[in-house]
Structure 1
Amino acid sequence: MNSQTINLLEVETKAQIYWCDISHLAAELLLARQALDELRISHPESTPSNVKAVYMSPWKSHLLNTKLHPLCNSVIQTVKQICKDFWNTDMQGLNLDFLIADCWGVTYQQSDKTILHSHFPSDFSAVIYLDADDESAPIIFEEKLLVKPKPNTLIIFPGYLRHEVPENSGKRTVLAMNLNKIPSFNQAAA
């Protein structure tokens, strides 16, 4: 096998992070909270990862508890809307759709944290704050941008974007997920 040298050129970009209040999805949020409570009983061992929290559900939690499906579907629709509104891209017209590749819940308590990481190669990542008190630590993107968690808030960002959560002073519960583009030939392109 021939060895080759791969060089790196760094380009400073302005990655976009999207957020919205999803309080109107009260039924979906309630089901997600119930699902995470059930997963904590059915899968009590926290999943080993860069998340150092009191509990993290399995990576494929959406496949283990169907109560997560309505909220996952809402996130997919939101990502499609982002593609349309901010990128002028009709995913259906390109015969593309999005798939939830991973979905997991995390319960943070005092001193819990998440180490700096990215979700590459996922196209998008999302975090939904199901519960967060005023003392909850922010999510920090690229060691620069701090976003304070608020209950019933959805944050969507490129999967390559590095982020972390410093030691937490409060309590919070999140549902996180990774989304990937997939071919979709269910409907002909316009």
Structure 2
Amino acid sequence: MHKISIYGASGHAKVVLDCIRSNSNFTLGYLFDDNPAVKELQGIALSTASQKKIEAYPLVITIGNNKIRKKIADQLQSVIAPPIIHQSAVISTTSRLGDGSVVMPGVILNADAQIGSHCILNSGAVIEHDCKLANYVHISPKAALAGNVRVGEGTQIGIGAQVIQGITIGKWCTIGAGAVIIKDVPDGATVVGNPGRIIK
């Protein structure tokens, strides 16, 4: 059994902790957070983030904000954990997951999908065959990507959003909750509605 530390004691961390607990290969190492006001999470006391403790076990960065997660990951790349996958997720044997990524309960990841590092596949998300997600992407609960979708670095796909097959979504985009994406999306765009329209 391998110990995994968590960096970031947030609500997101609670779900990642459940993923660790659901997996017989992993157990919790240390729990860290930069906020001095935070003392514990679900009864687990926070540890002081000394260099020795940070390097003791591989860690997963449990911060939902993609930009902040990237900033911390850039400082801690040498100690990043392998992907953490909840036991209820359905993961194709031909898919690939980058280090530091987390897969929540009920996710479906289909054939030949490629997921970058430090991605979040949130509860009930569906990532179909041949999708390619760059690093730091967050797919929110119940969002669905049809086959051959490309998603650029740092983009967030909102809760319940749907993306039709073959679409390319650029870097650091925000796709609103429930949006239906039927056209390619350029870098940095914010898209809402059905059909999706760029508002920013």
**TM value normalised by structure 1:** 0.25
User: Which has more helix, going by share of residues?
Assistant: 1
Larger Rg: 1
Q: Which has the higher contact order (CA 8 A, sep 6+)?
A: 1
